[in-house]
Amino acid sequence: MKKIRVSLLILALCILSLPIVSFARDVAPIVDTAWVETNINNPKVVVVDIRKVEDYKAGHIPNAVNAFYGSWAMMKGGLRNELPAADDLFDVIGGAGIGNDSIVVLVGKTDAVPDRTDITRVAWTLKYTGITNVAILDGGYNKWVADKKAVSTGAVRPKAKSYQAKVNEGLFAKKDHVMKSIGKAVIVDVREPDFYKGVKKLEFVAKAGHIAKAVNLPTSQMYKQDGTYKDKAELMNIASAAVGKDMAKEIITYCDTGKVCTAWSFMMTELMGYKDVKVYDGSTEEWTKDPQAPFEQ
């Protein structure tokens, strides 16, 4: 009984701390189309459309600039979705007209889970490069169009700025760190259950299964049918059932390439208040190439 009371107290404290997380930023981590429509002319707001150049030019949110997904993540050393060099990232950020005090709203397509997680991967990369005020347009460009909001064609030429910052290496975990953290941190496999259980695997992943002792928290559980996010309480319930309610515990998320896992990582830190969430960038693509890396079904 005493244990239950303590747990409830911790949970209450965690919930109470959530608004503080939101207040630490100038914008909520998820914004809707009405918010974007209202703030579209705010000079501090930079709406960044990460879709392919061709799609952006065919139609985009008025005033939105384009910095397509490939500017933020690339194939490197035989691994997909790796970070570009910091100076290249700074050029992309400055080139998009983003400064340290900007409020960045990310827009992408939301047809499928991999598209939706393009957006959170960019959000995570922006956090890595020191941008605090990063928000995601709920439902992406699909929702903007579905809500019959105004659309522009052609390209917006951003007013480029010079951007420099100290990168936050602590947001990404390397393989050695993950190896040492087995049994200590909560390691979260965000792939669908068949991939976690080893029933299925992607072609470029050497083995089926999951990192030893990892828990499963499928990314698809985050979204409603229309590609928008479930509400905060529901997301909190789903996440805490898998990773627990200790907000200070180290959590390491992974998927197959380090992209999809950014969705839970971003929401756990920015919406729910988990303090120490890292993304294992190499994910199973790197892990399964190492015969010494513990992997189980």
**Which spans of this chain sit near another protein (rule: CB under 8 A)?**
52-57, 66-68, 70-71, 74-76, 84-85, 87-88, 91-92, 95, 155
Q: At its nearest, how many Å lie between another protein and the CB of residue 125?
A: 14
* Max CA distance (Å), the chain: 63
Comparing CB distances to another protein, the nearer of 33 and 66 is 66
Beta strands in 23-99 (DSSP E): 30-31, 45-49, 65-66, 74-76, 79-82
What are the contacts of 157-161 at 24+ separation with CB within 8 A? 158/46, 158/65, 158/95, 158/96, 158/97, 159/97, 160/94, 160/95, 160/97, 161/94, 161/97, 161/98, 161/99
**How many CA within 13 A on the CB side of residue 48?**
31
Q: Which is nearer to another protein, 95 or 294 (CB)?
A: 95
Beta carbon of residue 83, minimum distance to another protein (angstroms, whole number): 11
Q: How far is the CB of 216 from another protein (least distance, A)?
A: 30
Q: Which is nearer to another protein, 16 or 112 (by Cβ)?
A: 112
Would you say 57 or 177 has its CB closer to another protein? 57
| Token representation of residue 29 | 């981590």
Whichever of 30 and 50 has its CB closer to another protein, that residue is 50
**DSSP code, position 17:** H
Considering the complex, state which of residue 19 and residue 70 has its C-beta at the smaller distance from another protein. Answer: 70
Note the helical H segments in 96-231.
113-128, 140-146, 175-181, 193-197
What would the two tokens of residue 281 be? 């960038």
The distance of closest approach from Cβ of residue 77 to another protein in the complex, given in angstroms and rounded to an integer, is 11
Q: How far is the CB of 57 from another protein (least distance, A)?
A: 8
Task: Provide the minimum distance between the beta carbon of 134 and another protein in the complex, in angstroms, as a whole number.
Answer: 20
Neighbours of 166 (CB within 10 A): 8
Alpha-carbon span 169 to 82, nearest angstrom: 13
Q: Kindly state the smallest distance separating residue 282's Cβ from another protein, in Å.
A: 16
Measured from the CB atom, the residue of 73 and 260 that comes closer to another protein is 73
20-43: b or e for each residue (b if 16 or more CB lie within 10 Å)? ebeeeeebebbbbbebbeebbeee
